[in-house]
Structure 1
């Protein structure tokens, strides 16, 4: 409910949106989030892909005294956002990243200092640089925006250790208002985001995850040859309009694209192994309607806002329901019907478990832990020098995630507890890595559950995000075929988002109930689906604080 303090800002926000950006009307969730920011609150906004999350900071930024910093993970996404603002009547936006020449970076900072630019886009790793944070601190930042905020949560599907350093940076900037934005965050992830970013007196604006215009289906395939033939046949149908095909590998993206092109479809592949200019060209051609199908790995899609994508096909099972939801959310943004099909083989889950398994780097952890102990003062960036940079960074990130070390904004690292021994630090980091692996594997199980369910797929999908749905959607294959039976969407004793304790698995949060099954996200074990009958008969769960 909007309070009078928030309501007083709505007319002014609407006026600025119309005058500066040409938006005649703001969506209720956009306006509420903006008004909450203007009233002085930190805000966590969870809005589906294509719902206009960027507007939530673009408009209030013009009413607050001081520049707005936007932490955005991809240079391509930053460029799109900068270009979008450039096409409006708002003050300029600049990005400071590794793609700029020194003169371009100097000009960007100069425009911010002189008030010519209002928005500054940065990648999270940029904020590990002490001189950059010092420069920001002198600008009087009024709003700090964290885009793709699920990346800050260890429970989020795209956790990035660089996001862990944002809370100290926010404090160093004098604690400006904070806006966290994401398209996918179940209740436990939202709580984790708020805690890790240090949100104060924050408010949450969360819209429904339901997309009724998306027809959900799963097609089981006996082997890879059958799947390939089925995907190609479905993607090549001439009356289907533009669409996306997601694959598990770069090689598959290239092969599917070549096969579709050979069949006369205007298709192109897209993956992270391509040159940036080639990726940009594919994206531009698809946006301009020069391509009918883009075949891509998960690298494609962030920031893409094309209203009339009529189908999204998956030629392999994604690693999580979070990723799947985000990818299918690129279909039907015009609210017209769109088709979503997962082409599934039962062995996909085993393959995903293999792909998401990575043992803790015990030797590297030990080397870094000893170097921190042996160094006189905090360990400088780039040490120990004998370790390859990627391995060294992963080890430090693990140690920091485990709370064994703390990293300053200047990149120096020291033990969080001076009494900690290297062996204890390694043990903490190893336990954290193993818990994360259990979480990743549990996400794969949940995605496999979606593929195999005989119930309403929409109920399963929404339940994963903590949103009750009674089933019977009449827009998924199970409901349309009459296979799905109505199942209660929640349990009175264990409602969604309630804290529970398991005798063996410890603390957890109820995610959803589906008929006689209960899904719980446990801190150390990840997602577990339990029989409600067994829970009650054996007294497996109890309420927790």
Structure 2
């Protein structure tokens, strides 16, 4: 037995050295322990180690050894297929051939299947969502499980309800592990507290069956700091003035897409080579941006959490956060991108006053409600599949939330994905309110941890790294001797008037487009709406404008406060009027409006009416009147699915006779004024009514854009 294990270690070391390209490479503490448990003992192992420790080396080396012993291919489940290019290329150099089946390479699926059948693939990479694709789940997965030599679950914290990502597809991996029988299983993650570790181990078979290898989280190269600034202009001004002083190239994280895009634009205007990287960035552009950062051709990527797990640049010099992530797990995972192969890397958090509001929005957006689940189950039939778009037409649930809800119901056994869509299984199902409240409570606790992290006292007892280690249940927590609490502030706190002024001017920039709807939603006839297909050109609004998005760094805060629930309805503030006038002056409309029309508002009637009057007076445009509300309450369907929102506003307005007379006599487009635009169906329906009443065109204007 000893000789066999000695042979295993020697063979493993040869593969490792080929993999990393260094003849003197050796295993980090715990790496070979995991490999030995998998290869020699066919055990299940959970590896919790900081980013850069070499978790991918464990599963690629183990795969090579198992394949050399005649085992079948490894099945690697990961949400990071697009970010595993470097690891896959390194594995190929070590003789481990990997291929993926994902939404981006559909044209290669048949070839991958044929190579699998010929046993030419060592590692098959799939996303957790792929496991529930009907063709893959029913046609390929059973046979693959029978012959697979190793199952790897990457970013395994997602299995747990207590992980920082709410990913229902990961919950079905418990069934995959159960079906694997005696096949060895490896789960890896860089970020997990004790509760997550225990939960994942339980789902892999229990603490007695699972070898857990957990290392210290602290990285000696990281120098942590928190800088509170007076306001947003000062915060962005600091970045404009001091980004060039940060060593090397790095990442600037923002909490929202619009904040990332706005910050990237500001920094480019200040002379920095930066690129935005968000969930809206196309895959090809993401790959280009990643490569530019790796090759130090840009100073930074200004990114949302879309650039997170799996990005590999060992010499990343800094990570700056404009606004705090909502949990220490998410924060540590992002700062762990830096300083992996350098003696020093700077990590600075610049908190924002808007952070808690953003945390609250994202927390509520990710959890399904009991009413939504009940509506979906009422509409699904055991024998008649419904596609997601068709189901969306029947329930008042927005597409992104509906897709999440269907995954939850699928994992719970209440629905099943089949060819053609979704069916009900007939299995009894109840809404687990207690479970969701436990998750929500955990989220609130994590948010408080981040607020506490920002307010740590001076001195070693307030060490930032030690605090992160403690809340992540790392028993090796100790003062780092490098952060701004252990020593003094290593970053300049001052911001020049010029830099703050530059940032302030950018924050005061106004004007975002409101795109016109061009098609009616699928299934409108099922709601009794007499429309389908393209919206007639003669009934559409033109492209509109808003002062800003509610998520914008600058005007977003002002508009959020103005439109917040509970804010008393009042006359429009003068600064908001001035901002609206700036938008109108810069609007490159094909034809200037000839009059102003106000929308009826249940929540802010004085605000909308006074805005319309002010723009009429300043623009010297006649105030033609206002649409009337045809119902006593607010339009139905706010915040729901597209069709439900259209149905909610379809009969909500009418054109009064006096306004109809003025529209008939108008010679140009009218400016249609409202407080906020979200789904754009309110503007679409209102514009259709106005154009049918004689308006030659409609130019929508809202104070705020909600998305």
| TM-score, length of structure 1 as denominator length | 0.78
Cα pair distance change 1:270/1:391, threshold 3 Å: closer
Task: Say whether residues 1:228 and 2:228 are aligned partners.
Answer: no
SS across alignment from 1:13: helix
CA gap 1:321/1:244 in 2 versus in 1, 3 angstroms: same
C-alpha spacing 1:161/1:447, structure 2 compared with 1 (3 Å): same
Q: Which residue of 264, 278, 302 maps to 1:295?
A: 302
Residue of structure 2 equivalent to 1:29: 30
Q: How far apart are residue 399 of structure 1 and its match? A: 4.2
Contact 2:255 2:358 in 1 (8 A): no
Contact 1:128 1:409 in 2 (8 A): no
Question: Do the aligned partners of 1:459 and 1:468 also contact (CA within 8 Å) in 2?
Answer: no
Residue 309 (str. 1) matches residue 312 (str. 2) = no
Quick one: which of 113, 124, 127 aligns to 2:131? 127
TM-aligned CA distance change 1:6 to 1:28, over 3 Å? farther
Counterpart of 1:60?
62
Query: How much does 1:67 deviate?
Result: 0.3
Residues in 2 aligned to 1:245 and 1:195: alpha-carbon distance in whole angstroms:
36
Partner secondary structure for residue 219 of structure 2? coil
Task: For 1:259 and 1:202, locate their aligned partners in 2 and report how far apart those are by CA, in whole Å.
Answer: 50
Matches within 5 A, 1:459-474: 459-468=466-475, 471-474=478-481
Q: Distance in 1 between matches of 2:142 and 2:373?
A: 33
Residue in 2 that maps onto 1:396: 406
Return the alpha-carbon distance in structure 1 between the equivalents of residues 239 and 48 of structure 2: 32
Name the SS for the 1:264 alignment partner. coil
Residues 363-442 of structure 1 mapped to structure 2, 5 A cutoff: 363-371=371-379, 375=382, 382=387, 385=391, 386-387=394-395, 390-399=400-409, 405=414, 414=425, 420=428, 425-426=430-431, 428=432, 430-442=433-445
Matched residue of 2:172: which SS? helix
Q: Could you tell me whether the CA contact under 8 Å between 2:148 and 2:183 is conserved in 1?
A: yes
Aligned counterparts of 2:186 and 2:439: Cα–Cα separation in 1: 27
How many pairs align? Answer: 466
Q: Over aligned residue pairs, what C-alpha RMSD do you find?
A: 2.9
Alignment of 1:63-212 (within 5 A): 63-64=65-66, 65-86=71-92, 88-102=93-107, 104-133=108-137, 134-139=139-144, 140-198=147-205, 201-212=209-220
SS at match of 1:436: helix
Whole-Å separation in 1 of the counterparts to 2:480 and 2:18: 41
CA distance 1:346–1:453, change in 2 (3 Å): farther
Larger radius of gyration: 2
The Cα offsets for residues 343-397 of structure 1, whole Å up to 9 and x where unpaired, read as 124553344234423464333211233456x647xx8574783346544433334
Is the 2:324–2:349 contact (alpha carbons within 8 Å) kept by the matching residues of 1?
yes
TM-score by length of 2: 0.61
Q: Shift of residue 81 of structure 1?
A: 3.6
CA distance in 2, matches of 1:221, 1:367: 46
Mapped partners of 1:34, 1:361: distance in 2: 43
Query: More displaced, 68-77 or 350-359?
Result: 350-359
Alignment deviations for residues 7-36 of structure 1 (CA, whole Å, 9 cap, x no partner)? 663222112333566453232322121111
Evaluate the alpha carbon distance shift between residue 354 and residue 453 of structure 1 in structure 2; reply closer, same or farther with a 3 A threshold.
Answer: farther
Judging changes above 3 Å, is the alpha-carbon distance between structure 1 residues 407 and 448 closer, same or farther for their aligned structure 2 residues?
farther
Query: How is 1:220-299 mapped onto 2 (pairs within 5 angstroms)?
Result: 220-237=228-245, 240-299=247-306
* Partner deviation per Cα, 1:390-425 (whole Å, 9 max, x = no partner): 444333344466x5747589976536xx5x4x6xx1
Structure 1: 5+ residue stretches without partners: 483-545
Hey, what's the Cα distance between the residues in 1 that align with 2:96 and 2:466?
44
Indicate if the aligned counterparts of 1:7 and 1:35 stay in contact, CA closer than 8 A: no
**What is the CA–CA distance in structure 2 between the aligned matches of 1:412 and 1:81, rounded to whole Å?**
38
Q: 1:106 and 1:349, CA in 2 relative to 1: closer, same or farther beyond 3 A? A: same
Q: Which moved more, 1:181-190 or 1:9-18?
A: 9-18
Please give the secondary structure, in 2, of the residue aligned with 1:352.
helix
2:463 to 456, 469, 480: 456
Q: Find the aligned partners of 1:451 and 1:108 in 2 and give their Cα distance.
A: 49
